[in-house]
Amino acid sequence: MGFSRRAIFSQSLVLSCLVSFVSFCPSPSWALKSEILASDSGKVSLGLYYESLCPFSASFVVNYLVKLFEDDLISIVDLNLVPWGNAKIRGSNYTVVCQHGTYECLLNTVEACAIDIWPELNKHFPFIYCIEELVFERKYTQWESCFEKLNLDPKPVTDCYTGEYGKELELRYAAETDALQPPHEYVPWVVVDGQPLYEDYENFLSYICKAYKGTAAQTACSKLSLNTIKMEGAELSSPVCYKEEEKIPTSWSRIKSAIM
């Protein structure tokens, strides 16, 4: 996958703008992301279950999820980022095995630590965006440069991912991912108000606008054509990272499940 210099420069500008923009966004409590809280606040719950080195997860964060900050759509959303994805737990010592290797386990934990240490949206999302942008550009080994780019102290995150607390956070995300109903089949797995979007996840903004019952983002949502929403059963094409043991198409998976 090749990227032009212009595209990479544009992504860097997005990061700079994002850091400036989200500081003016509301900073809800990120400790609890339940659908009940989203309903009580009038916001739409948006869950992203992903893994750091899946190229399609990175693309979604960099090219799609960032659109929440355009026209203040983030003001109507409770966003929950869950960096675990298709990882597995092995053995009695709870060894974590990640789909794309040990470096993915490292970055999953780094991002989990960032969310915990900087629960405010205006800190942890730009940091995660920065890492996933480097993944998108195949420069993820330079992830520590994100501390300097964003003027963040690296020590709390370093202490977290090199210690037991980082593993504890990842095990929590493992449990949250495992509890999904219906279970996730691949990543990115995008859920709006409890309903997975399957391979239509790139169209997530339209689902958010359809689910939102207020008027705060009426202008932004009016720009989206709700007629473009693909309903379940339609032909879907957005790329995903399947679980290692599950390579069959999603549609056949659902048919088989229904027959059983």
The per-residue pLDDT string of the chain (260 residues; one tens digit each, 9 = 90 and over) reads: 443 444 444 455 555 556 554 443 433 333 333 344 444 468 999 999 999 999 999 999 999 999 998 877 999 999 999 999 999 999 988 999 999 999 999 999 999 999 999 999 889 999 999 999 999 999 999 999 999 999 999 999 999 999 999 999 999 999 999 999 999 999 999 999 999 999 999 999 999 999 998 877 777 788 775 445 444 444 556 899 998 744 434 443 443 344 33
Strand 189-192 vs strand 195-196: parallel, antiparallel, or unpaired?
antiparallel
Q: What is the pLDDT of residue 18?
A: 60
Q: What is the pLDDT of residue 72?
A: 78
| 8 A C-beta contact, residue 242 and residue 186 | yes
- Cα 81 to chain center, whole Å? 5
Q: What is the pLDDT of residue 183?
A: 96
Cα(155)–Cα(152) distance, rounded to whole angstroms?
9
Alpha helix (H) residue ranges in 196-240: 204-211, 218-222
Q: What is the pLDDT of residue 27?
A: 35
Cα(183)–Cα(28) distance, rounded to whole angstroms?
27
Question: Residue 88 — φ and ψ, nearest 5°?
Answer: -135, 160
Delimit the domains of the chain by residue range: 44-218
Q: What is the pLDDT of residue 223?
A: 75
For domain 44-218, the CATH superfamily is Glutaredoxin (3.40.30.10)
Q: What is the pLDDT of residue 167?
A: 95
Q: What is the pTM of this model?
A: 0.79
